[in-house]
Amino acid sequence: MTKKMWFISFFLILLVVPEGLFAAGSERIRNVVTEVKNQEIVVTAELVDGFNREIIRDIHDGIPKDFYYYLLLKRKQKNWFDEEILAKTIRYTVKYDTLKKKYAVVQREGERTVENTVDDLETMKRIVSKIDQVKLAPVSVLKSRNRYYVSVKSQMKAAKLPFYVDYFLFFIPFLEIDTPWADSDSLSVIR
């Protein structure tokens, strides 16, 4: 394939792909709070502007959506990259029952699964848009006299794509939400 053909193919793909796919959205993570409670490191964070019209329409059309929260515990280091101590993923799956007009929200955190059924959109959004007092790790993983913090990111991956789209556009990430990382304040351990 010549360079000219490659460029033409690339620009044709850009015309076919929805414009919102590459655009950064307004969704953000805020209010990341890290605390030590009962010898556990717990994290609370909030997703802002995580539901646009298209996402809500897809949910109401019966398309399940998966919201992921990625949590990283990091140790601050001078003159070098911060060290990642551990990571945790929390997944919310939202399904709408069009006959019963109810939302099923399933939260998966490791091996633990919690399922809620709610009647209205605002309650569902409130559940999915927040991680509240999530246990990240025992405080024993922290070393004394070091400073730590937690980074949180959220993504919502698109529903399963048709085979031909997934096959030809494998290099394009189909994310409907992709927030930047948000960091908590420092968590110091003094023993």
Residue pLDDT, tens place only, 79-106: 889 999 999 999 999 999 989 999 999 9
φ and ψ of 163, to 5 deg = -55, -45
Match 């304040």 to its residue by tokens: 185
C-alpha 123/C-alpha 151 separation (Å) is 26
> What pLDDT, on a 0 to 100 scale, did the predictor assign at position 25?
55
C-alpha 66/C-alpha 166 separation (Å) is 18
Is residue 115 classed as helix, strand or coil in its secondary structure?
strand
**DSSP-derived secondary structure for 158-178:** PPPPPHHHHHHTTTS--EEEE
pTM (two decimals): 0.77
Residue extents of the structural domains in the chain: 26-156
C-alpha 144/C-alpha 40 separation (Å) is 15
Residue pLDDT, tens place only, 37-50: 999 999 999 999 88
C-alpha 176/C-alpha 108 separation (Å) is 20
Work out the pLDDT band at 19, boundaries 50, 70, 90. very low
C-alpha 87/C-alpha 71 separation (Å) is 6
> What pLDDT, on a 0 to 100 scale, did the predictor assign at position 21?
43
